[in-house]
Amino acid sequence: MEPSFYEFRKIEDAKGNLVAVEGLRDIPFEIKRVYYIFAVTEGARRGFHAHRELQQLLICVHGSCKVLLDDGLTKTVVTLTDPCRGLFVEKMIWREMFDFSPDAVLLVLASEHYNEEDYIRNYNEFLRVCGNKGDLID
């Protein structure tokens, strides 16, 4: 599985930097929800779920973190460090975020409003839905 990234234009001047992200222009979906993760406890892992329909763009706007992406067959780890680069996470991709730097702020742009029914929080269920039963966890 090859991770998909979106690069954003940085506007610089003597006062600082600015990056703008517009839904359906800079990314492939309308933005319906925005949230950010910060002050993550050292060693903590976040995520541990997939979405049936929701798509996301993850941008580490400060610091760094790693993201494990799993499509049920292949696992890939990506390190996010650039506030001008967003990681696209398609539906039906298991994700885990970890190794947050103490100053990390992970911004998440989501294609849908929060809906608990869209989440798959059990890895075995995720594998069954994907049709991959070879790696079920006891």
Residues assigned a catalytic role? 49
In a domain, 107, yes or no: yes
The continuous run of DSSP H or E covering 126 comes out as helix 123-130
Q: For 22, how many CA atoms within 13 A lie in the half-sphere containing its CB?
A: 3
SS (HEC) of 51-114: ECCCCEEEEEEECCEEEEEECCCCEEEEEECCCCEEEEECCCCEEEEECCCCCCEEEEEECCCC
Residue written as tokens 């890939």?
76
In a domain, 136, yes or no: no
In a domain, 135, yes or no: no
Q: Each residue of 4-38: pLDDT tens digit?
A: 999 999 999 999 999 999 999 999 999 999 999 99
In a domain, 57, yes or no: yes
Q: What is the DSSP string of 9-53?
A: PEEEETTEEEE---BTTTBSS---EEEEEESPPTT--EEEEEESS
Q: How many domains does the chain have?
A: 1
Instruction: Decide if 113 contacts 33 (C-beta within 8 A).
Output: yes
In a domain, 79, yes or no: yes
In a domain, 138, yes or no: no
Instruction: Decide if 65 contacts 104 (C-beta within 8 A).
Output: yes
CA distance 131 to 129: 5
In a domain, 137, yes or no: no
In a domain, 121, yes or no: yes
pLDDT band at 81 (very low <50, low <70, confident <90, very high): very high
Domain containing residue 97:
4-130
Q: Each residue of 45-76: pLDDT tens digit?
A: 999 999 999 999 999 999 999 999 999 999 99
pLDDT for the residue 104: 98
pLDDT (average), residues 100-117: 98
- Here the CATH number for the domain that contains residue 14 is 2.60.120.10
